[in-house]
A and B are shown apart, each in its own frame.
Chain A
Amino acid sequence: MKIVVIDYDIGNVRSILNAFEKVGVTPILSRKKEEILGADAVVLPGVGAFAHGMKNLNEYSLVEILKEYAKSNKPLLGICLGMQMLLDESEEFGITSGIGLISGKVVKLPLKDKDNEKLPHVSWNEIESKNIAWDNTILSNIDEKSDFYFVHSYVTVPSDENNILSTTLYSGSRFCSSVKRGNIYGCQFHPEKSAEDGLKILENFIKITKENRGV
C-alpha cells in the first residue's frame, strides 16, 4: 500500500510517519505529482498559520495536484491545519483561500465561557458524533467522548452539516472536530499524538484505503 504524506516544509511530519509505521505502513514523504496521483491514500499534515500553509502548497503547485487527486475518490486525511486547508477559505489574518474540497470556512474559535477564555485550545478533549454514524469511517470503533489531543485557535465551519463527523466542546463553543465528505477526511486533533485511540484512527484510515483499493 502506498500512502503519501505531503511534504511542503510544514510542521512535525516525523511523528506522523512514526505513527503510521507503528500501525504497519511505511508512508512516503513527497510533493511529486506522479507520487501523489499514484498513491492509494494521501495525508495532508500541517501546523501553524493558514496563509503560510497555503503559500507553501501553492509554491509547490500542490493545490491543483490535491484537487486532481481528490477526483479519484481515493482516501485523503487532513490533520489540524491540513484539515482546515481542505475548506474554501480562512479568516485567519485576513481572508485566505483554501483548497476547497469541503465547502465552508475557517474561523477563530469563539470563546463563550467567561471562566475559560484561553487560546490556543491546547488540551485533550472529547469528540462526539453528530449526524453521521462512525461505522466504516476513520472513527470506527472509537467510543463516544473519547479524548484526543488538540492544539489550535481556529476551527472549521462546514456549510453542509452532513460533512461534520464529530464535534467538540471548548469554552462553551461546540465546534467541528472532524469532517468527512466521501473518502475525504479531516481531523482538527492530532491522531498521531493521541495515544492508542489516535493510532486506531490511522488503522481505520488504512482499512478504508485497503477496501477502496479492492473496489
Chain B
Amino acid sequence: MNKIRIIARLDVKNEHVIKGIHLEGLRKVGNPNKLAKKYYEEGIDEIVFMDAVAAYYDRNSLSHIIEQACKDVFIPITVGGGIRTIEDIQTALNSGADKVAINTKAIHKPIFIEQASKIFGSQCIVSSLVAKKISDNRWEAYIDNGREPTGKDIVEWAKEVEKLGAGEIMLTSIDKEGTKKGFDIELNRAVSSAVSIPIISSGGMKSSSDAIDLLQNSNVDAIATASTLHYNLEDIKSIKKSLIKNNIRVRV
C-alpha cells in the first residue's frame, strides 16, 4: 500500500482562512501563512489553498499568500479557486504553487484540462470534483464553490477528467463538508474504483477515526482536512499515530 498523504486544506477569503458548513456560513479561523507554517512544522504532507470567493470575482487572488507560503513551507502546495485560463495557471506556478485545482472552468470547457496538462504536465493539474448526493449511489457534480449544480454524474465526470489528462482528483463532498461527521465513504469508493489516478478525499473529517474508516473502505490516496486542524480537534502527529496503529502507511 502507498503512503497516505495528510493534507491541510485552507479556504481563504479576504486574507483570512475561513471555514463553513456545506461550503456555506463562513467563519474566520486564522491567518493563512501562519497556519500553513504551523501545519508544516507539525508534519503535514501537503497544503491546499482554496480561494473561497473566487467564483464571485472570477479570478484567483491568492498569489501573494502563495509567494509567502513558499518561503516557509517546503512541501507541495496546491492552489485552487478561480483558475480560468492558462495564464492563471502560469501565475499560480510562478508564485510557487506546484499544482492547481480546477473545477468550474473544466465543467464549462473540459478541453481546458487537456490543454493545461499538455502545457504544464499532468502532475500539475488537479481536477477538483465537488459532489452532492442525489440518490443512492448517485452524486451530481457542482461548481462555483458548491453552489451550482451541473447535471453531470460525478463518477462519469471523474472518468472523463482522467482521460483528459488530470493528474489527481480532489473529491469534496458537499453533504459532509464542515459537518465533522465523517467522509462520504460510498462516494469515495465509487470514484476511486472508477479511475486509476490518485484521489484526495475532502469533506467531513473530525478525527483520525474518520480517516481510518475511509481508508479501510475505499482506495483513496490522500485525505484533506480543515476543521480537524483549524479547531484543534486532533493534531497531525496524533492523526498519523492512529493511522500507523491501524496499519495505514504515512510519512513520519
Complex CA–CA separation, A69 to B31 (angstroms): 45
Question: Contact between A118 and B76 (Cβ–Cβ < 8 Å)?
Answer: no
Task: Identify which of B3, B45, B98, B196 gathers the most chain A CB atoms within 10 Å of its CB.
Answer: B98
- Knowing A48-B124, A124-B3 are in contact, say whether A147-B197 is a contact too (CB < 8 A): no
Contacts of A117 in B (CB 8 A): 196
Q: In the complex, what residue of chain B is closest to A126 when comparing beta carbons?
A: B3
Complex CA–CA separation, A12 to B90 (angstroms): 9
Contacts of B40 in A (CB 8 A): 195
- Knowing A193-B76, A199-B74 are in contact, say whether A15-B168 is a contact too (CB < 8 A): no
A39 at the interface (CB under 8 A from B): no
Question: Contact between A14 and B123 (Cβ–Cβ < 8 Å)?
Answer: no
**Mask for B55-82, Cβ within 8 A of A = 1, else 0?**
0000000000001001100111000000
Q: B118 to nearest A CB, angstroms? A: 8
State which of B71, B197, B198 has its C-beta within 8 Å of the C-beta of A18: B71
Interface residues of B in 98-149 (CB under 8 A from A): 98, 120-124
Complex CA–CA separation, A198 to B94 (angstroms): 21
State which of A123, A147, A152, A196 has its C-beta within 8 Å of the C-beta of B221: A123
Contacts of A18 in B (CB 8 A): 70-71, 74, 96
Contacts of B121 in A (CB 8 A): 11, 47-49
Specify the main secondary structure of chain A where it touches its partner: mixed
**Mask for A148-163, Cβ within 8 A of B = 1, else 0?**
0101110000000000
Interface residues of A in 6-52 (CB under 8 A from B): 11-12, 14-15, 18-19, 21-22, 47-49
Task: Identify which of B3, B121, B168, B252 gathers the most chain A CB atoms within 10 Å of its CB.
Answer: B121
Q: B210 to nearest A CB, angstroms? A: 21
Question: Contact between B1 and A147 (Cβ–Cβ < 8 Å)?
Answer: no
Complex CA–CA separation, A123 to B6 (angstroms): 11
Interface range, A side: 35 or more
Question: Contact between A12 and B196 (Cβ–Cβ < 8 Å)?
Answer: no
Complex CA–CA separation, A149 to B7 (angstroms): 13
Question: Contact between A124 and B5 (Cβ–Cβ < 8 Å)?
Answer: yes
Complex CA–CA separation, A48 to B75 (angstroms): 18
Q: In the complex, what residue of chain A is closest to B43 when comparing beta carbons?
A: A195
Contacts of A195 in B (CB 8 A): 40, 74-75
Supply 9 further A-B pairs (C-beta < 8 A) apart from A22-B71, A47-B124, A198-B74.
Answer: A12-B98, A14-B96, A15-B98, A48-B120, A48-B121, A48-B124, A120-B167, A193-B74, A199-B74
Chain B residues with a Cβ under 8 A of chain A? 1-3, 5, 40, 45, 67, 70-71, 74-76, 93-98, 120-124, 167-168, 196-198, 221, 251-252
User: Can you list 18 A-B contacts with CB-CB less than 8 angstroms, sorted by A residue number?
Assistant: A14-B67, A14-B70, A14-B96, A22-B74, A47-B123, A48-B123, A48-B124, A118-B196, A122-B198, A123-B2, A124-B251, A125-B2, A147-B252, A149-B75, A149-B76, A151-B167, A193-B98, A194-B75
Chain A residues with a Cβ under 8 A of chain B? 11-12, 14-15, 18-19, 21-22, 47-49, 115-120, 122-125, 147, 149, 151-153, 170, 190, 192-196, 198-199
